[in-house]
Chains A and B, each alone.
Chain A
Amino acid sequence: MSAASRRDLVVGLLLLAVAVAIPFVLTTRYIVTQATLFFIWAIVVTQWNLVLGVGGIFSLAQMALFACGAYAAALLGYYLQVPLWLGIPLAGLVTVLVSMLVGLACLRLRGPYVALLTLAIAQVIYIYIINDTDCFTNPPSGCMPLFGGVRGITKFGELGFRDLFGTKFYVANYYLTLFILLLATLFSIVIIRGPMGLAFQALRDNPGYALSRGISRFKYQLWLFALSAFFTGLAGAVYAANFRAVGPDVFSITLLLFLLSMIVVGGLGTIWGPLLGAAALMLVDEGMKEFSDYRNIGLGVILAAFVILLPQGLVGALAALWRRRRSRA
């Protein structure tokens, strides 16, 4: 095992130990549910980081994929009475299929074209959902469009934690999300340290040589895009299960900005950067609760300032600091 992998293992186990202990130490419900939300965003962000930072795919469709997972689980539960425990993994698979379609359409294009097209696709889905007012079914609660329209979807089943654990059900949600985050992080380590990460590094460092050795950018990008979509979709489905509701607000630009900032602040393309960035921004956001009017201005400033002044992110800055201390010693 290489030194880098050993370090990852140590960092990972430490973080996991802390995360497992939190509900025992800080028993406040608010903290546990906020931590659950942090795990959900962390899953999305680690996968987005793979796509953007490792694969070099300018995808702005990540929140649309997240929404795809959330809506898939909700729709399956609402219309077909599929239990959520089955619905969540199915939602992941549905998201993989959708992402392959998006990838086939987008990934032959170059950088900025991909960004524009993925943004456009996300917008089409959003506009379709909020503008669709034709009733698909007519339950007693009123007209129900196919995708729930502006109001979104509720009452699509439960995970059953309320029956099992009573008032402590949110702790079960916490551990379920933590488990998926663990899988997503392992996946991202395998990708970054494994052959696929190597292929992308080759394509970055010397595209001519990489291409002539038969490394197809399109093929690897499509694989990465589709595989990482599985966890993004899972995160969406767990989000839906956790809040017991899905609505079109998951498409909001503010949320997109918030998550993108997490990656940039933590460090694009690194293993632990997105997690660190997610934690940092959740904390900053919590601190800015009182000045919520200025929340988006603050987010914008943070995003721009980090890209311009600290492009390597917090992880890069820490690593540089570490190297300087070592060379001096």
Chain B
Amino acid sequence: MSDVLIQIVASGLTVGAMYAVSTIGLSLVYGSLGMLNMAHGAVLTFGGYIAYYIITTLGLSPLVGAPAAVLVGAALGLAIYVVAALPLLRTRAFETSVFIATIGIGAVLENLMLKLFGAYPLPQPLAAPGGIIVGRVHIPAQNILILVVSLALMALVAVLLQRTRIGRAVRATAQNREAAQLMGVRVGHVYALVLAMSGALAAVSGIMVSSLTTLSPTMGADPMLKAFIVCVVAGLGNIYGAVVSALLLGLLEAIAQYVVGVRFGFATLLILVIVVLIWRPYGLFGRRQVVRL
């Protein structure tokens, strides 16, 4: 029994940490721009493919591949800002339009990858070999690496947001765009930075997700859907709530997979989420927003 427990906790935490990394980016963007980035999954997949291309096809070191993937992810995030968010920012129905526009951008990216790399699943070369034994359970080193990298990244984002000048600008913009602008915050720069960061985080999470499964052009859809769910459960835009919810949901999914079978793990999770939302429409950690009419 305790072996099963260790197994569930180990896989739940790994998966949860992975969700957390892809969710932070999404949540950061929603929190500061009020923009739901539907191209997030495609950026995530792109990161995974860039790492594959540099390491396997070009034969370069993973120490080149991983940072390059992160840079490309950031560049894609920036491109989404310039192409979609910037021209739509002043329009009346920003939320609706940017949502639809990013669905289109996501479709373009996804099918571009399909053209470039083919539909055949590819292995992610960036993986750590070996593992450790806890009790009688084998835990792959890759899982531990993912957990450590995720925690480090989350700490980095937290420090950036809480301790730096630019982090303060991001938080100020998220709280009130006009007030921040009046205080001399360059809101445009903040938005660009946030989308670039979100792209970089998505790339990292793409490498991690593909190292546990395989690379395929549609691989990003599943982590993006889960990141959305985490966001919704936590309350959109609430980053710390997102981290807690991601870990919780990872564990819950692992338990559900053990109890009702792998096939229905995700479905069970979703039903739970729907119940949570009916009970608390603004998410577990979201505060009820008072709308001034």
Task: Spell out A's residues near B (CB within 8 Å).
Answer: 52, 58, 105, 108-113, 115-117, 119-121, 123-124, 127-128, 131, 206-208, 211, 253, 257, 260-261, 264, 268, 293-294, 296-297, 299-305, 307-308, 311
Contacts and interface: CB of A to CB of B under 8 A. Distances in A.
Interface string B88-111: 100101011111111111111011
Given A113-B281, A131-B264, A308-B101, A299 B87 contact: no
A211 B264 contact: no
Contact of B236 (A113, A119, A128): A113
A120 B228 contact: yes
Nearest to A117: B277
B161 interface: no
B99 A207 contact: no
A112 B267 contact: no
A320 to B, nearest CB: 16
Contacts of B158: none
6 contacts: A108-B278, A110-B289, A112-B36, A112-B95, A131-B263, A300-B107
DSSP class of B's interface residues: helix, strand, loop or mixed?
Answer: helix
Contacts of A304: 83-84, 101-102, 104-105, 108
B107 A299 contact: yes
A115 B97 contact: no
Given A109-B281, A308-B101, A117 B274 contact: yes
A58 B96 contact: yes
A300 B96 contact: no
Contacts of B107: 257, 296-297, 299-300, 303
Contacts, number: 122
A206 B293 CA distance: 8
A260 B100 contact: yes
B97 A119 contact: no
Nearest to A52: B96
Contact of B36 (A115, A121, A293): A115
B112 interface: yes
B95 A303 contact: no
Given A296-B107, A297-B111, A128 B267 contact: yes
A108 B281 contact: yes
B55 interface: no
Nearest to A125: B267
B293 A208 contact: yes
B270 A124 contact: yes
B172 to A, nearest CB: 22
A311 B30 contact: no
A311 B97 contact: yes
Contacts of A111: 95-96
Nearest to B291: A207
Nearest to A299: B107
Contact of B91 (A296, A302, A311): A311
Contact of A264 (B100, B106, B232, B289): B100
A185 B203 CA distance: 45
A119 B231 CA distance: 14
A112 B111 CA distance: 25
Contact of B229 (A108, A116, A260, A297): A116
A319 to B, nearest CB: 17
Contacts of B266: 124, 127
A105 B100 contact: no
A8 B221 CA distance: 41
A148 to B, nearest CB: 16
